[in-house]
Each structure stands twice: as structure tokens, then as C-alpha cells.
Chains A and B, each alone.
Chain A
Amino acid sequence: MSSSANLMVDNLGRRTLKDKFYKVLVVVLSIVTISPIVLIIYELIVKGYRQISFDFILKTPPDTFEAMTALSSGELIPGGIANGLTGTLLMVVLASVIAIPVGVITGIYLYENPGKFLANLTRNVSDVLQGVPSIVLGLIAYMWIVKPITNGFSALAGSVSLSIMMLPMIVRSTEETLKMIPQTIKEAALALGVPYYKVILRVLIPTSFSGLLTGILLGISRVLGETAPLMLTALGSTMINLDITKPTSAVPLLIWEFYNDPNMVDLIWSSSLLLMAMVLALNLISKRIAARTK
């Protein structure tokens, strides 16, 4: 009897040790997971905050000579990224205008016809689309828009490539959100004699509105920082441009340009900080909306 009691005590000791080991492991791995984002934000703030000002938001970038003069006299680089901000805004809004209706309607179709061949095909294709490298989407928009339609690099082409990127996210989030609505809500409306299309428009969409919005915001925050497709489509511009048929700048494009210019390299931190803040804000807003409706 004493031997078996000893065995249990032995076992207990080992199990407690194991338990402690795993607890420490989980904490360490959690820290490893969150540390990159903390370090990134820290780095951006430390290196970028000095450049952030009203000018930075309202003015276009200096030319390389101005930047060099400012640098050599030890001043801050003048100017800002207004052309990038307006360009990003223009292209993201246009991309949303294209992707949201198509994505939401497709999502509703998938929800309504779960077993149909066309629906399954659409769902799988949309999943594949999500995995297509963004540079390839840029190439496609180049072939479809830049060459035949706008005869040159344009904001429209950039928007199309971004909208293709957003599409699968919106499709899937629409379908998943609609699936979460209890069937009984739908039946309640149908039992009142409401026609099917009105049940979708006036009951299902309002009920799942916050879910749809979350998906859309995440889609937007996903494309906000896209650079590769824009290089082949929007190209960039030194001025503020609101004409969708003309080359247009964007914040991530500017960051790439600053990186390539030794005199302006200091601007990449503040630009990245601003971009990061926008993405983070959108993410937090969508998390908020999602949490509020659960």
C-alpha cells in the first residue's frame, strides 16, 4: 500500500512539473506572437513621429533636391504625402464601390443555394482568388484596363486590381454572416406573406448588417496597404490627382518611392506610421462592431 501511495506522490510531482512547464511555454509563445506587432508600432513611432504634422497630411512630397537641402542643414524634410492619401482614398473608395455590391450579392447567392453546383464552384473559385498573389492581380488589371481602356496607368486600373482582392473576403463574410441568422427569423417574415426578395432585402440584410460591415472593413484594411498591384496599374504621381483615368499615387507607393531615394528615406517611417494607424483603426472599428452585435 505504501508503495502505491509513493507512486501517486511521485506521479503528482511529475505532473505538477509538467503543468508548470506547459504554462510557461504558453506564456512565452504568446509573448513571441504579440511582440512583432508591438515592436513594429514602437519602431514606427520612434522613427516617424517627428515628421507627423499638418503639413505632412496636407502637402505633396518635396523633390529630392529640397529634401537634400533640408537634410544637410539638419532640418526636417518639408512637405507631406497628401497625394498618396488622396490617391489611396480615391482608389479604395472606387474599389469598394465595385467589390461591395458584387461581393454581397454573390454571398447572398451562396447562402441561398448552398448545394448547387454553380454555388460550390463560385465558393471554391473565390477561395482560390483569395490566394492569388497580388502582383498577378496587378498584371491582370494592366492587361484589362491600363492597355485597352485608359491607355496608360490609371487609378481605375488600381481600383480594379484592389477590388478583385477584396471580393473573396466580402463574399465569404457575407455568406458566413447570413448563415448565423437563425432560420426562424427568415420563417417569421415568410409566414407574414413577405415575398422572398423582400425577406432578403428588408430582414436578412438589416439583421446581418454589422457582420457585413465587419467583412467590408476588413476587406478595405486588407487592400489599404497593397503595393505590388498598384505598381503595375496606378504607377504613382507627384501631384494630387483625382482623375480616375490618370496615374495616381498611394501611400504604399510613396513609401516605396521614398525608400528608393536616399534623400527622402526618412519619410518612410512617418508614412508607414500613418498607413499602419489607418489599418489598425479599421481593424479596431470592425472588431468593435463585431463584438457589439454578438
Chain B
Amino acid sequence: MNDNSVTIKDPVLSIRNLCVSYDKGKYAVDNVSADIKRNAVTAIMGPSGCGKSTMLRAINRMHELYENIETKGNLILNGKDITDMPTIQLRRKVGMVFQRPNPFPTMSIYDNVIAGYKLNGIRLKKSERDDIVERSLSDVTLWEEVKDTLHKKGSFLSGGQQQRLCIARALAFDPEVILLDEPTSALDPVATSKIEDLLVKLKENYSILMVTHNMSQAARISDYSMFMYLGELVEYGKTKDMFTRPKDRRTEEYLTGKFG
């Protein structure tokens, strides 16, 4: 039932029979399999509680923090199963950006960008650090705005700037996949459109998997779309195809606003 309607060659990430349950026997993500395309934006859509965030968080094993959550299935990142990787290595390869901008309030903008290195005790030369900070901030088009205030606290920035800072923090590790969990739902329209432009630009170098509540956002910026409902991957395909000719009745009803 969860057959992919698309075949993707050389996927960056393969999800195989992924099941996540919060309560024993009740699956928030129910046997999902999908391949994620390299250097593209893939959107995960669906009504609240359909398991889209849960699935995203399974990809960098955030669920391991909570004892009651059980994850089954395989996640293969560039040919390697992530369940065997040390979490530090995995999370360097899979960056994550959250719903609300969450820069570290005690750190400066500069330190926030290299927080991954700093907090993991990875020593870098000053020139290397400067390079990473400038490259990451330029990637998220924040460099020009903050280059004179790098040593001020990140929490002084506007919401949209903070979210771009958080994306820069994820990019600093030069990850293979970036996971975004409704990255614009706490932002105003102007900041949202900046982030959207940014994601379209970033896919040249990164593979992006994004959860979104916003159908028009998925339509605007994603190349591939998934539609999830009650933990099940209902439909997966090219965004253009899914929006113009949905195959499943539930997808069609969701896209036309009948529920969700």
C-alpha cells in the first residue's frame, strides 16, 4: 500500500519500513518506505498528528532521548545504516532545524554558528572557524546583515534572522541532509519568503527534507512531496504531479481543503 509512485536513482536517504510508536502497539509512523532525492527539496505534508514530524525526528534519532518511544525499520544514509552510527557522527551528517528559532541564548552569533564544533569539543584554528562562520552565514544570506555584530547575542536578532542563524548552525557541519520541521510556521510572510528562497538556493549543495503545514509552500518550493495521513505514507511523487493529478482520494481531499 505504501509503494512509492516514483523511483529515485541514487537516493541520499532511503527509509525502509519505518515504524515509530509512542505507546506500545500504536504507531505514529506506520511502516513508511521512501527514497529521498539528492539535491532536491522534498516536502512532507499532512494534517496535524499524521506523524510527519515524528518521522523527521526519527531520521536523526532524536527519539532515542525518550524512553517510551520505540523506533523500528531501517534508515540508510548514502549507503550506510544510521542505526549503527554514533549519534555525534550521524548528527553531523543530518542537520536539523526546528519549528521555533532556537539559537543558544547565552552565545554570540559567531558562537551559535560554530556551536556544533564548540560543544563537541572539536578544536579548530581561528582561521578555520572564521571561514566556517562566514561561509555558513553567507549561505543563509545573513552575513551582510550581521557581519558587524558577530559577537552580539543571537537572541537580539529578529525571528526570521534567528531562524536563518539556526539554518547556518546546521550548515556549519556541512551535512548530507538537512531536516526542517515546519521552519517558517513561527515567522511572518516576509521572513517566510526569505527562507523559502534560501531553501531553493541551498538545494544546489544540500538535500533538504522539510515538514510543512502549508500546502502552497510545498507547491512553491518542493520538487517531491509526500502526503501522510494517520501515520501512513499515502502518496509520494513529484510535487507537480501530486498537486495536479493526485492518485489517492485522501490526498485530493486534503489538497482541496476538505480536511486537515
Interfacial residues, chain A to chain B (CB-CB below 8 A): 182, 184-185, 187-195, 198-199, 202-203, 206-207, 209
Contacts and interface: CB of A to CB of B under 8 A. Distances in A.
A207 B95 CA distance: 22
Interface of B: 60, 62, 65, 87-92, 95-96, 98-100, 102-106, 115-116, 119-121, 166, 169-170, 173
A191 B96 contact: yes
Given A190-B65, A193-B92, A184 B104 contact: no
A190 B62 contact: yes
Overall SS of chain A's interface: helix
A191 B91 contact: yes
A202 B62 CA distance: 19
Closest 10 CB pairs of A and B: A193-B91, A193-B88, A192-B116, A191-B96, A184-B102, A206-B106, A194-B119, A188-B102, A184-B98, A185-B102
A207 B104 contact: yes
A185 B105 contact: yes
A194 B62 contact: no
A203 B102 CA distance: 12
A210 B121 CA distance: 25
Contact of B169 (A187, A190, A192, A199): A192
A20 to B, nearest CB: 45
Contacts of A206: 106
B104 A188 contact: yes
B161 to A, nearest CB: 16
A191 B95 contact: yes
A190 B90 CA distance: 11
Nearest to A209: B106
Interface centre among A188, A191, A195, A203 (most CB of B within 10 A): A191
A187 B120 contact: no
A182 B102 CA distance: 9
A184 B166 CA distance: 12
A187 B170 CA distance: 13
Contacts of B90: 193
Contacts of A185: 102, 104-105
A191 B62 contact: yes
A124 to B, nearest CB: 23
Given A185-B105, A189-B115, A194-B120, 11 more contacts: A184-B102, A185-B102, A188-B102, A189-B104, A191-B60, A191-B95, A192-B116, A192-B120, A195-B120, A203-B106, A209-B106
16 contacts: A182-B100, A182-B102, A184-B99, A185-B102, A185-B105, A187-B102, A188-B103, A188-B104, A188-B169, A192-B91, A192-B116, A192-B173, A193-B90, A193-B91, A198-B119, A199-B119
Contacts of B88: 193-195
A155 to B, nearest CB: 36
Contacts of B106: 203, 206-207, 209
Contacts of B104: 185, 188-189, 203, 207
Given A192-B120, A193-B92, A195-B88, A207 B115 contact: no
B83 to A, nearest CB: 15
Nearest to B89: A193
Nearest to A199: B119
Contacts of A193: 87-92, 116, 120
Contacts of B169: 188, 192
Nearest to A194: B119
B119 A188 contact: no
Contacts of A188: 98, 102-104, 166, 169
A195 B116 CA distance: 11
A55 B142 CA distance: 60
Nearest to A196: B65
B62 A203 contact: no
A202 B119 contact: yes
Nearest to B99: A184
B259 to A, nearest CB: 29
A191 B166 CA distance: 11
A192 B98 contact: no
Nearest to A185: B102
A177 to B, nearest CB: 13
A212 B102 CA distance: 21
Contact of B119 (A184, A189, A209): A189
A194 B87 CA distance: 9
